[in-house]
């Protein structure tokens, strides 16, 4: 039942290959994700609770809301960025994630099953040519 004879216990060349492979995979996924979401800054902050859209906030109007589910997240939108600044969830990863900006970026609070995502408004680009 025991098959540990062929096991290497010291770092070897194959491990470098593994590091290379995993890093390349990360870069690949990252690049694909960036291309997919584009360089658009977005204009709407959308709140999803358990996968369903529950609220939309304009990205360029400062404001804050409370998102309630199993826990409560306090979402702040300020100067085109969004962050969860307070939360009573365990771990508080969402708060530690800090401020996000740019279309496609998202904040996730897993215990609360909440995702906050920056999106572009549907097909109404003409309204927003501000330079």
Partner 1 sequence: MNRTKVNQITLCAILVSMALVLSYIEHFIPLQMLIPLPGVKLGLANIVTLMALFFLGTKSAFTILILRCILGSVFGGGISGLAFSLIGGICAMTVMYIFKNCKGISIYGVSMLGAAAHNIGQILVAIFLMGSVYVIGYLPYLLVVSVFTGLATGSICAGVFRILKTNTQITQN
CB of residue 62 to partner 1, shortest distance in Å:
23
HSE-CB for 2 with a 13 A CA cutoff: 3
User: Of 39, 52, 124, 129, which lies in the binding site for partner 1, with binding defined by CB under 8 A?
Assistant: 52
Buried b (16+ CB within 10 A) or exposed e, 81-117: bbbbeebebeebebbebebbeebbbebebebbebbbb
Q: Is 48 in the site for partner 1 (CB under 8 A)?
A: yes
Tell me 43's DSSP state: S
Give the containing element (helix H, strand E) for 109: strand 106-109
- CA 103 – CA 118 distance, rounded (Å): 5
Q: Between 80 and 111, whose beta carbon lies closer to partner 1?
A: 111
Binding mask 81-120 for partner 1 (x = CB under 8 A): ----------x-xx-xxx-----xxx-xxxx-x-x-x---
CB of residue 94 to partner 1, shortest distance in Å:
7
Q: Where along the sequence are the contacts to partner 1 (CB under 8 A)? A: 1-4, 6-15, 17-19, 22-23, 25-27, 29-30, 33, 37, 48, 50-52, 91, 93-94, 96-98, 104-106, 108-111, 113, 115, 117
């Amino acid at each position: 039942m025991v098959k540990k004879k062929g096991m290497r216990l010291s770092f070897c060349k194959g491990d470098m290959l593994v590091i290379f492979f995993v890093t390349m995979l990360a870069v690949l996924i990252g690049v694909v994700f960036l291309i997919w979401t584009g360089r658009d800054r977005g204009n709407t902050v959308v709140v999803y609770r358990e996968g369903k859209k529950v609220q939309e906030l304009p990205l360029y109007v400062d404001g804050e809301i409370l998102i309630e589910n199993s826990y409560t997240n306090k979402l702040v939108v300020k100067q085109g960025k969004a962050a969860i600044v307070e939360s009573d969830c365990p771990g508080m990863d969402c708060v530690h994630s800090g401020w996000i900006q740019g279309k496609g970026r998202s904040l996730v609070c897993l215990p609360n099953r909440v995702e906050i995502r920056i999106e572009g408004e549907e097909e109404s680009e003409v309204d927003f040519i501000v330079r």
